[in-house]
């Protein structure tokens, strides 16, 4: 009989997989993707079966292959298909395989299950015929014992352990494993309702009491007290009083957890498709029916009806009995689409984002694994969902930078999606109104199919533009120009909605000492602090730490610091002055860090309780608010200040996305761009709404400068708490890299090493940061290069004092 070897990875930073023999009694229990207990050194560890090999495997000399201890799962926790994907991710992004798999499992799934001991049937017979001991007594009494608990007992080492070993060997005691699902907390809120009609005479006396009773009468069933508090003075007092009088009944009522979407969208009959939409369907459908890997880029202007195309494609896939995965860049978008998807796919739909509690996520994940849910709509990490029989992957807003994870496993969900689709041999649809240059370049080289939708549905016009040169602005404020003010007033007076966009939250951008020029900085990061008026503090937008506004300059002790620049909080104040009494909703990370808050705010816009929506890039993309007719970009230049070769691309994408929020309904839209650089090529491209023209220019310049997509990049990020250590290690790593690159070029494989240099944010969370950029002409060259560098790195003890992160295809440059 050929020997069955299990290749196992452990859930830690170990880079290599380990090999174990498979004892006969475990042979039909081992499956790729199941967790196993293994001996590791002198301890027992938890691992996952990465692969099964028939027959001998090559292991380094001196390593002896030991047997697996036990199989934990009765069925795999991760599908074989995903295991293969993880293997690719691990090698492409240089990340330990065990940690990749862990990232693919939902947070909260216990990596280490509980181990229980219990008597086997043989054991129970032996007990009946008179055998007894401490351990056996315990197992008879309690039925089972938690091993981890047993190990804590003082006599475990002396007595219990020997006995356990003995009885396990005899087959009288066995181990069973149990994985507890993450605690599902149901949330209750104190709620009230009327118990009897109130006495009208009693309530006449007090204004608050009157409004409380009115709210109770109008509110119908249970109303959360929290909500009443907002509009009623001394609410808790009156609630207690009415409760004592028996007029009102109070109870803790369970609130639905957030798996159900909170946004109200009236049900609609699906529209019949336009000719352009149909053309896309016809191109993609054959590849769903007869599955083959094919990448499509749907380049459709904002409002061209891409969402309807996604819905139809998923519908067709589901009809064929297959699953579909739809990725969106942000929670806000997934919750907006959730309503649409739920209308069409009902209980088959699973949504996936960080706004869901671990319990909800765990339940959904198990149903996906069991094949009960086949349509998944979610953010970046849903690319790891174990959808069975996947038939299509759709990536909406494929250009969006939030698909890239910026810490730990630095993967790009769109690129992983492409790999997953290609391994599975299924079609993938990337959609955007402003596709990434990378994807457009793939269309040029015929790796992707380009499907364009040049116009909005129903021939709705694209918005018109007005550029306001802020250098010439007189009389008006330096924040909201006369032109924007006039349009704002008009829009709201006409009963329409306006959106003001500024990619900076807070009140003032920074605090400056007019005497010495010092800017108040974060104590933990090398960035300036932003003033937040509501909390009257300075806040770091990188690490979140806060400090009070200093009275005097920390450097020169000068007395009066001045606030410079402005953020969304300040815009809100300006709008209140222009439009007193208007409904204003501000959405940024200060007001909407919790998904449920964000949903409420978005709902206020949708239900037209808000006239003006102010926000950061959180509101720039994807949303479909048909009553917004005016979009004001308060400062079109903010994104340009980044020193990155992508600054132009991301500015144009962002501005076009924001502009695309205007005029999506029946009324046409207007966009006002306030800028200090009206002649800048990015501003001109946006105003002309000619994205392709911009891309042509931009691609030409990238080619000349040898930037991606014509080359491939990789960033090595060196960090440590000590400045000198970080710098020295970065220099060392750079020279190692140069040696490796010299060696490669002898084999005609060229990579360029740029740096080292301090990162733009030199210090973050008390760690100093240096980086080295590596440029290669092919992906394969980069792979060979980094493997060579990683091998060398291990031999240099100085490099152990720092953390080195590999960022492949880096997106951000901070």
Contact residues for ligand ADP, defined by CB under 6 A: 271, 273-274, 277, 300, 302-308, 457-458, 624, 664
Q: Which is nearer to ligand ADP, 309 or 318 (CB)?
A: 309
Note whether 540 binds Zn ion by CB under 5 A: yes
Query: Residue 390 Cβ, how far from ligand ADP at the closest point, in Å?
Result: 23
Structure tokens at 66: 């030991």
Query: Residue 634 binds which entry of Zn ion, ligand ADP, none, with Cβ cut-offs from 5 to 8 Å by kind?
Result: none
CA–CA distance, 162 with 140 (Å, rounded to integer): 19
Q: Quick one: 262 exposed, middle or buried, by C-beta within 10 A (0-12, 13-18, 19+)? A: middle
Number of residues counted as binding Zn ion (CB under 5 A): 6
Q: Of 23 and 665, which has the nearer Cβ to ligand ADP? A: 665
The residue among 349 and 512 lying less far from ligand ADP, judged by its C-beta, is 349
CA dist., res. 732 & res. 715, Å (int): 15
Q: Please say which residue, 173 or 340, places its beta carbon nearer to ligand ADP.
A: 340
**For residues 322 and 386, what is the distance between their CA atoms, to the nearest angstrom?**
13
Give me the residues paired with residue 586 across strands: 614
Least distance to ligand ADP, CB of residue 622, Å: 7
Q: Residue 94: which region, alpha, beta or left (left: phi > 0; alpha: psi -120 to 50)? A: left
Which residue bears the tokens 């900076």?
504
Q: Which entry of Zn ion, ligand ADP, none binds 542, CB below 5 to 8 A by partner kind? A: Zn ion
C-beta atoms surrounding 397 within 10 Å: 25
458 contact choice in ligand ADP, Zn ion, none (CB below 5 to 8 Å, kind-dependent): ligand ADP
Q: If contact means CB under 5 to 8 A according to the sort of partner, which of Zn ion, ligand ADP, none does residue 504 touch?
A: none
Q: Which partner from the list Zn ion, ligand ADP, none does 522 bind, CB cut-off 5 to 8 Å by kind?
A: Zn ion
Specify the residue, 193 or 541, whose C-beta has the smaller distance to Zn ion: 541
Shorter beta-carbon distance to Zn ion: residue 388 or 765: 765
Q: How far apart are CA 735 and CA 664, in angstroms?
A: 54
Stretch near Zn ion under the rule CB under 5 A, chosen from 185-193, 287-295, 516-524, 571-579:
516-524
65 binds, among ligand ADP, Zn ion, none (CB under 5 to 8 A by kind): none
CB of 87 closer than 8 Å to CB of 54: no
Query: Contacts with Zn ion in 47-76 (CB under 5 A)?
Result: none
Query: Quick one: 277 or 591, whose CB is closer to ligand ADP?
Result: 277
CB of 538 to Zn ion, least distance (A): 10
In the complex with Zn ion, the residue whose CB is nearer, 12 or 521, is 521
Which residue in the set 241, 524, 667, 680 belongs to the binding site for Zn ion (CB under 5 A)? 524
Radius of gyration of the CA atoms of the chain, in A: 31
Q: Report in angstroms how near the CB of residue 547 gets to Zn ion at its nearest.
A: 10
Q: Work out how close the CB of 526 gets to Zn ion at its nearest, in angstroms, rounded to a whole number.
A: 9
Residue list 688-727, contact with Zn ion (CB under 5 A): none
| Site stretch for Zn ion (CB under 5 A), options 80-88, 354-362, 536-544, 587-595 | 536-544
Q: CA-CA distance, 261 to 600, in Å (whole number)?
A: 11
Of 519 and 582, which CB lies nearer to Zn ion in the complex structure? Answer: 519
User: Could you say which of ligand ADP, Zn ion, none residue 543 binds, taking C-beta under 5 to 8 angstroms by partner kind?
Assistant: Zn ion
By the 8 A CB rule, do 32 and 77 touch?
no
| Least CB distance to Zn ion at residue 522 (A) | 3
Tell me whether residue 529 or residue 811 sits nearer to Zn ion (CB atom): 529
Choice between 176 and 523, CB closer to Zn ion: 523
CA distance 253 to 265: 25
The string of DSSP letters for 693-741 reads: HHHHHHHHHHHHHT-TTSSEEEEEEEEESSHHHHHHHHHHHHHHHHHHH
Torsions phi, psi of 343, nearest 5? Answer: -55, -40
Nearer residue to Zn ion within complex by CB, 72 or 525: 525
Contact partner, 684, from ligand ADP, Zn ion, none, Cβ < 5-8 Å per class = none
524 binds, among Zn ion, ligand ADP, none (CB under 5 to 8 A by kind): Zn ion
Nearer to ligand ADP, 29 or 627 (CB): 627
**Shortest Cβ 765–Zn ion spacing (Å):** 7
Q: Which two tokens stand for residue 330?
A: 């942000």
Residue 648 main-chain phi, psi, to 5 deg: -65, -50
- Among ligand ADP, Zn ion, none, what binds residue 657 when CB lies within 5 to 8 Å by partner kind? none
From the list 416, 410, 412, the residue with the least C-alpha distance to 393 is: 416
- The H-assigned helical ranges of 323-384 are 331-345, 358-369
- What is the edge-to-edge ordering of all strands in the sheet holding 537-539? 530-532, 537-539, 546-547
By beta-carbon proximity to ligand ADP, the closer residue of 5 and 440 is 440
The DSSP output letter for 106 is: P
Which element (helix H / strand E) includes 420? helix 413-424
**By CB under 5 A, which span of 112-120, 346-354, 448-456, 533-541 interacts with Zn ion?**
533-541
Dist CA 761 CA 770 (whole Å): 9
Compute the least distance from the CB of residue 650 to ligand ADP, in Å: 19
Minimum Å gap between C-beta 307 and ligand ADP is 3
Contact 602, 332 (CB under 8 A): yes
Is residue 541 near Zn ion by the rule CB under 5 A?
no
Answer yes or no: are the C-beta atoms of 225 and 236 closer than 8 Å.
yes
Looking at beta carbons only, is 216 or 457 nearer to ligand ADP? 457
Q: With CB under 5 A as the contact rule, which of the stretches 344-352, 500-508, 524-532, 572-580 interacts with Zn ion? A: 524-532
| First vs last C-alpha separation in the chain | 57
> Does residue 522 interact with Zn ion by CB under 5 A?
yes
Angle at alpha carbon of residue 297, lines to 292 and 300, rounded to 5°: 140
Residue 328 host element (H or E): none
Sign of CA dihedral 165, 168, 169, 170: positive
Can you tell me which of 4, 83, 160, 525 binds Zn ion, judged by CB under 5 A? 525
- Residue 543 within binding range of Zn ion, rule CB under 5 A: yes
The single residue listed with the structure tokens 């090529």 is 681
Binding partner at 140 among Zn ion, ligand ADP, none, C-beta below 5 to 8 Å by kind:
none
Closest by CA position to 32, among listed 48, 18, 15? 48
Smallest distance, ligand ADP to C-beta of residue 451, A:
12
| Cβ closest to Zn ion, residue 525 vs residue 654 | 525
Phi/psi at 432 (5° precision): -170, 155
Instruction: Show the tokens assigned to 182.
Output: 């993450």
Q: How far is the CB of 588 from Zn ion (least distance, A)?
A: 18
Of how many residues is the chain composed? 814
Query: Using CB distances below 5 to 8 A depending on partner kind, what does residue 334 bind out of Zn ion, ligand ADP, none?
Result: none
CB of 803 to Zn ion, least distance (A): 18
The interface region with Zn ion, picked from 4-12, 244-252, 308-316, 522-530 by CB under 5 A, is 522-530
In the list Zn ion, ligand ADP, none, the entry touching 305 (Cβ below 5 to 8 angstroms by class) is ligand ADP
Per-residue DSSP letters for 602-649?
A: HHHHHTT--SEEEESGGGTSS---TTEEEEEES-TTGGGGS-STTHHH
How many of the other CB atoms lie within 10 Å of CB of 794?
10
CA angle 150, 155, 157 (to 5 degrees): 80
Q: Which is nearer to Zn ion, 489 or 543 (CB)?
A: 543
Q: CA 723, CA 720: separation in Å to the nearest integer?
A: 7
Smallest distance, ligand ADP to C-beta of residue 655, A: 15
Query: Which of the listed partners (ligand ADP, Zn ion, none) does 525 bind, with a CB threshold of 5 to 8 Å by partner kind?
Result: Zn ion
Which of Zn ion, ligand ADP, none binds 271 (CB below 5-8 Å, type-dependent)? ligand ADP
Binding residue for Zn ion (CB under 5 A) from 542, 645, 707, 777? 542
Give contact residues for Zn ion (rule: CB under 5 A).
Answer: 522, 524-525, 540, 542-543
């Amino acid at each position: 009989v050929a020997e069955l070897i299990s290749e196992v990875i452990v859930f830690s930073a170990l880079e290599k997989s380990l090999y174990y023999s498979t004892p006969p009694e475990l042979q039909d229990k081992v499956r790729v993707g199941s967790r196993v207990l293994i001996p590791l050194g002198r301890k027992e560890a938890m691992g996952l079966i990465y692969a099964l090999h028939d027959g001998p495997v090559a292991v380094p000399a001196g390593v002896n292959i030991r047997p697996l201890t036990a199989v934990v799962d009765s069925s795999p926790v991760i599908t074989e298909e995903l295991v293969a994907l993880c293997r690719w991710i691990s090698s492409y992004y240089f990340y330990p395989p065990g940690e990749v798999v862990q990232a693919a499992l939902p947070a909260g799934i216990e990596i280490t299950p509980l181990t229980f001991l219990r008597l086997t049937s043989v054991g129970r017979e032996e007990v009946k015929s008179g055998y007894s001991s401490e351990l056996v007594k315990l197992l008879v009494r309690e039925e089972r014992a938690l091993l981890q608990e047993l190990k804590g007992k003082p006599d475990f080492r002396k007595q219990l352990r020997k006995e356990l070993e003995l009885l396990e060997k005899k087959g009288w005691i066995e181990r069973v494993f149990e994985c507890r699902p993450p605690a599902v907390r149901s949330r209750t809120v104190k709620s009230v309702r009327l118990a009897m009609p109130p006495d009208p005479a009693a309530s006449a006396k007090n204004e608050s009491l009157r409004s409380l009773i009115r709210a109770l009468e109008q509110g119908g069933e249970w109303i959360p007290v929290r909500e009443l508090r907002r509009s009623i003075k001394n609410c808790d007092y009156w609630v207690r009083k009415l409760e004592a009088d028996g007029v009102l009944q109070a109870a803790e009522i369970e609130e639905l957890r957030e798996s159900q979407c909170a946004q109200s969208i009236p049900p609609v009959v699906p529209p019949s498709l336009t000719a352009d939409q149909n053309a896309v369907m016809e191109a993609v459908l054959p590849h769903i029916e007869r599955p083959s890997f094919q990448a499509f880029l749907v380049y459709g202007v904002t409002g061209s009806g891409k969402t309807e195309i996604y819905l139809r494609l998923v519908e067709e896939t589901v009809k064929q009995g297959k699953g579909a995965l739809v990725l969106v860049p942000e929670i806000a978008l997934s919750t907006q689409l959730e309503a649409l998807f739920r209308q069409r796919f009902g209980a088959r739909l699973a949504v996936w984002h960080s706004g869901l509690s671990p319990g909800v996520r765990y339940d959904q994940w198990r149903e996906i694994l069991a094949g009960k849910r086949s349509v998944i709509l979610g953010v970046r990490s849903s690319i790891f969902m174990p959808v069975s029989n996947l038939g299509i992957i759709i990536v909406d807003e494929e250009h969006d930078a939030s698909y890239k994870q910026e810490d730990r496993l630095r993967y790009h969900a769109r690129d992983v999606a492409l790999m997953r689709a290609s391994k599975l041999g299924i079609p993938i649809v990337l959609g955007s109104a402003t596709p990434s240059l990378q994807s457009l370049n793939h269309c040029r080289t015929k790796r992707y199919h380009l499907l364009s939708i040049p116009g909005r549905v129903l021939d709705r016009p694209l918005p018109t533009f007005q550029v306001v040169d802020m250098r010439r602005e007189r009389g008006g404020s330096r924040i909201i120009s006369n032109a924007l003010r006039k349009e704002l007033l008009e829009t709201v007076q006409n009963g329409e909605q306006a959106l003001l966009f500024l990619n900076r939250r807070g009140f003032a951008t920074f605090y400056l000492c007019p005497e010495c020029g010092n800017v108040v900085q974060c104590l933990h990061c090398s960035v300036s602090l932003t003033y937040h008026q509501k909390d009257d503090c300075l806040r770091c937008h990188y690490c979140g730490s806060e400090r009070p506004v200093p009275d005097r300059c920390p450097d020169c002790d000068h007395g009066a610091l001045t606030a410079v620049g402005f953020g969304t909080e300040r815009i809100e104040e300006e709008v209140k002055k222009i439009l007193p009494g208007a409904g204003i909703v501000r959405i940024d990370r200060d007001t909407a860090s919790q998904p449920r808050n964000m949903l409420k705010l978005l709902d206020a816009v949708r239900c037209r309780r808000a006239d003006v929506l102010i926000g950061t890039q959180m509101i720039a993309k994807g949303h479909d608010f048909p009553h917004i007719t005016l979009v004001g970009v308060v400062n079109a230049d903010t994104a340009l200040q980044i020193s990155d070769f992508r600054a132009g691309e991301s500015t144009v994408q962002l501005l076009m996305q924001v502009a695309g929020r205007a005029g999506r309904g029946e009324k046409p839209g207007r966009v006002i761009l306030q800028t200090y650089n009206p002649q800048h090529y990015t501003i001109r491209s946006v105003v002309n709404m000619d994205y392709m023209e911009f891309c042509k220019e931009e691609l030409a310049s990238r080619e000349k400068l040898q930037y991606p997509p014509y080359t491939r990049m990789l960033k090595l990020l060196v960090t440590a708490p000590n400045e000198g250590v970080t710098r020295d290690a970065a220099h060392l790593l750079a020279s190692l890299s140069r040696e490796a690159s010299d060696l490669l070029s002898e084999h005609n494989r060229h990579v360029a090493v740029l740096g080292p240099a301090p990162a733009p944010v030199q210090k973050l969370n008390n760690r100093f940061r240096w980086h080295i950029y590596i440029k290669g002409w092919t992906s394969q060259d980069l792979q060979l290069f980094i493997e060579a560098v990683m091998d060398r790195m291990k031999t240099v003890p100085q490099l152990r004092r720092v953390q080195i992160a590999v960022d492949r295809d880096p997106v951000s440059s901070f």
